[in-house]
Amino acid sequence: TVDPFRPSQCKINKNISSTAPKQKMAIGDNAHRQLSQFQEEEWLFTSALFAVCLQGFSISQFAKLGQERKSAEVCPQSDSASPSRRPKSVYTPLEQQVIDLKQRHQDVLLAIECGYKYRFFGEDAEIAAKILSISCYSDHNFMTCCIPTHRLFVHVRRLVAHGYKVGVVKQTETSAIKASGSNKNALFTRELSALFTKSTLVGEDVNPVCRFEDIQQSCDDIGMDPPHSFLLCISENWDKQHKQLTVGLVAVQPSTGDVLLDSFYDSSSRSELETRVLKINPVEIIVPSDLSELTLKLLHSINNASPQADDRARLETRDRALFEFATAMDTVTKFYTQSQDKGTSLSFESPVICCLGPLIQYLKEFSLERVLRSQCSFQRLLSNSEGMTLGAATLRNLEILRNSTDGAMKGSLLWVLDHTRTAFGRRLMRKWVSQPLMDPQSISDRLDAVQEALESDSVTLTSLKSLLWHLPDLERGICSIYHRKCSTQEFYLVTSALSKLGLRMEALLPAIQSQVTSPLLRSLLLDTPDLLTPAHHVVKVLSENAARLGNKTELFSDLSDFPLLQKRKEQIQEVLNEIQDHIHEVRVVLKNPSLCYKTVSGQEFLIEVKHSQLSSVPHDWQLSTIVRYHSPFLVAHYKKLQQLREQLQLDCQGAWISFLDAFGEHYHTIKRAISHLATMDCLFSLAEVAKQGNFCRPVVRSGEQQIMIRDGRHPIIDLLMGEQNQYVPNDTKLQGDGRRVMIITGPNMGGKSSYIRQVALICIMAQMGSYVPASEAQLGLLDGIYTRMGASDSIYSGRSTFMQELSEASDIIFHATERSMVILDELGRGTSTHDGMAIAYATLEYFITQVKSFTLFVTHYLLLSELERLHPQHVFNCHMAFLLSVLDDVGPEFITFLYQLIGGAAERSYGLNVARLADIPDSILQRAAHKARELENKVHNKRYDNHWHSCSVTHLICICFHKYSIKQNKTK
């Protein structure tokens, strides 16, 4: 299925053989000519030399042209006398094989193994050549390009990064075994051996863990794996009973084994779905063909927010019938009935089943469905009882996961907190940041562990930190083993790292028991060595040199558990002994007692004869070169030896798969150990954050509704400013049963938005178990943080700036509770002054009297400051301090920002000062200042005349808006 995000991919889906004549190359009396591997490579090389100067065509183009030629071509009479002459419109056996493969895999870019290289054909070649920057030339009927086999992983990853589905087609026969079979003269059979997309980059073809030189040489080419590579499946159903849209989703990360699931009701704004998509950050999304237009627009909007095309998710559209409950339920039932994993029965909601069914079928195409078999891997994505709610707007406005400038990690809260040493720790830290805790005991346990890691002088903790350096990605590695797709190099690297880690931690157990006091750290450190025990045993049975070289025939140091391999090696040794015994006969025949076998260019057991001894060579010996021979005995036994060696390779591959299956039984145990290591890495990372200047341990209590922060600072801006210590700290004091609403006014660029972000980020850091940038912090538990900030439209959603603004405000009204924090920045500025002021006034009053949440309201509408007089117990005004300098009576005033929060409302916003900073010409500034004073005088003169009328109209608007909001809430 074509990715709608990439229109250029539409070419891939043409039926390449819809008009292609299915013929084989005619020889003699309509016989079929078959090519051996050597002949095939020779033909490819020869035809390539002549094809370079020819005009090339893609598969579909040439197929059509070939059809026309076939109908129009008239062969001369002499052709009948030359049966070996082949018409150009007929495909070679290899080309026909390519057409057959492409017919079965029309939406896949196929890399086809041809000897020592992989080749692309037709339009696949044109696409690959453009992306990989390699030459593309015409070879007989098709355009083609090729890559060397040892660079396959580099080029596959490049193509996948551009959103393509890439298939690797390998030769399924070996030359020696084929030569002994009945089809020894036929073309080598080739089959699709692996498929890869952005979310399914698992296996030795694309994860060369031990190819350090290749990785170093290609670090600029390969884009290394992102922290998360989730595959997300989305389903939609209309709930007739509740008359609402029900959305189900299942997200799986095949490379790590993580599975997330959720089902929920959503509105036309799709805000709930947007929140989850942003948190999951998938690299590939599966949707039904009848996906609603609103959801599709949302996915477009999120996807196009990424500044680089490589960062955008790939969209896979599947048949809507697969998402129907009956079909999906049948798939899920059969899948788990056949599962060999024992455990309690799984229970899923209907929307989740509608996603799980298509997901199982999709992963089967990649042989990665095993990751869905165990319930241990399943986790709920969002749970109000477990984590604080951070919506999509909050993640974006507070720059929690990425900055709003270029979408990079630098400049985000994650950037501030992520000092992890491992890839699996980095993934866990992202999860911690996006979903802070709600359990006060869990928060306290994390803070205890961070405090001990920060303050302890124990050598034990220092040693444990050093163990985490330079570890491979154990989480991805163990999952690759579980999928039976890892190489011997990757297996040995992962298991040896786990074994060494377990042994070193086991040696530290006495010191851990006596020195570590944190309950969380103690449990992690004491449990991990036992969980890593299976890794010790597998390392002992492997040969390190053979594993590093990828030599599976010498991989197992003890063959007692592999009798078939032992028998095959004995057969090989028997043939080798016979060949070695034969040298004595050769010495007698050639009268050379010192004669030995020679090996030249991979040809073994050659008998080298001097020119003076050529007369002694029997006539039935096979000539190898001018003076090197194979005797009939060697010809037969060498052929047998090659067959046994290749059969040993196949047997070793089967033993290797069985060995991986046996180790895979410990998958969940070792995955739990890696989870412990990731948790330790995150705790040590938060301790590094706490080492920064003027950070304190927050006090988080569940029974109190308060936000008390002394000398708080914005964690991101504070770090960006470095050691200059220029950031001005501010205090915050909010009480749930007292003054809980702040109305913040002041000049533009005075620091209002930075301050409200600072308060929210400190609360997030505290509830995820981190120290915070303040001298003191006492906080109550928040169930969510909701923000409405900035001014931007949503073109893909068809919303204007003001509509987008009010939609976000509406979502906050419906979801915020008295235990939430609400941040509203300049609500109502997207429309006229009177309408905007009325909406801002009514909305803020609703939060004061109905929602009763902690509210930080930034505004330039000075009328809103009157709410302090109406609700003095819960509302107070404040503004960002500044110094005002009047240079003359003509131009605007000059403002010096102090960035200090003080009590009381500001009289004006001093927008002309920002105009000066933006280098607006002086003539315009002077005219603007004059007009501003003129308007202010008119307003001042009318204020007393229209005072009662204004109050009545405003009060009426507020009452209407208030009743409308309550009605909408009841309807929802």
Strands (DSSP E) contained in 566-715 are 597-600, 603-608, 622-623, 628-630, 699-701, 706-712
- The type of residue at 817 is T
What pLDDT is recorded for position 179?
63
- On average, the pLDDT of the chain sits at 80
Segment 861-899, tens digit of pLDDT: 888 889 999 999 999 999 988 877 666 665 566 777 788
Sheet containing 622-623: give its strands across: 597-600, 603-608, 628-630, 622-623
CB atoms under 10 Å from CB of 872, counted, come to 10
What pLDDT is recorded for position 85?
37
In sequence order, the 6+-apart residues with CB closer than 8 A to the CB of 284 are 197, 198, 199, 200, 230, 231, 232, 313, 314, 315, 316
Of 137-146, 286-295, 623-632, 960-969, which gets the smallest average pLDDT? 960-969
Strands (DSSP E) contained in 783-921 are 784-788, 820-825, 854-858, 875-885, 894-903
pLDDT-derived band of residue 525, with 50, 70 and 90 as boundaries?
very high
Most confident of 129-133, 150-154, 205-209, 620-624: 129-133
- The answer to whether 597 and 583 have CB atoms below 8 angstroms apart is yes
Query: Phi/psi at 600 (nearest 5 deg)?
Result: -130, 125
- The answer to whether 24 and 32 have CB atoms below 8 angstroms apart is yes
Strand-strand pairing, 231-239 and 622-623: unpaired
pLDDT-derived band of residue 376, with 50, 70 and 90 as boundaries?
confident
DSSP-assigned letters across all residues of 294-335: HHHHHHHHHHHTSSSGGGSPEEEEE-GGGGSHHHHHHHHHHH
Of the candidates 490, 477, 253, the residue with the CA atom closest to the CA atom of residue 371 = 253
- Specify burial of residue 941 (Cβ count, 10 A radius: 0-12, 13-18, 19+): exposed
What gap in Å lies between CA 137 and CA 115, rounded to an integer? 19
Q: How far apart are the first and last CA of the chain?
A: 37
Residue 555 above 60 pLDDT?
A: yes
Residue 60 above 60 pLDDT?
A: no
Please give the residue that has the higher pLDDT: either 720 or 803: 720
Cα 626 to Cα 38, 620, 635, 639: the distances in Å are 22, 15, 17, 22
Residue 2 above 50 pLDDT?
A: no
What gap in Å lies between CA 4 and CA 322, rounded to an integer? 20
Most confident of 211-225, 476-490, 827-841: 476-490
Residue 37 above 60 pLDDT?
A: no
Size (the chain), residues: 972
Segment 267-306, tens digit of pLDDT: 888 888 988 898 888 999 999 999 999 899 889 888 877 6
What gap in Å lies between CA 401 and CA 37, rounded to an integer? 53
Of the candidates 215, 127, 193, 138, the residue with the CA atom closest to the CA atom of residue 164 = 127
Full-model pTM: 0.79
What gap in Å lies between CA 886 and CA 847, rounded to an integer? 39
- The type of residue at 914 is V
What gap in Å lies between CA 477 and CA 962, rounded to an integer? 57
What pLDDT is recorded for position 504?
94
What pLDDT is recorded for position 124?
94
> Which domains, from first to last, does the chain contain?
7-217 (3.40.1170.10), 231-382 (3.30.420.110), 429-547+667-688 (1.10.1420.10), 560-661 (1.10.1420.10), 699-971 (3.40.50.300)
What pLDDT is recorded for position 69?
36
What pLDDT is recorded for position 180?
61
Of the candidates 387, 368, 463, 253, the residue with the CA atom closest to the CA atom of residue 781 = 387
- Specify burial of residue 133 (Cβ count, 10 A radius: 0-12, 13-18, 19+): exposed
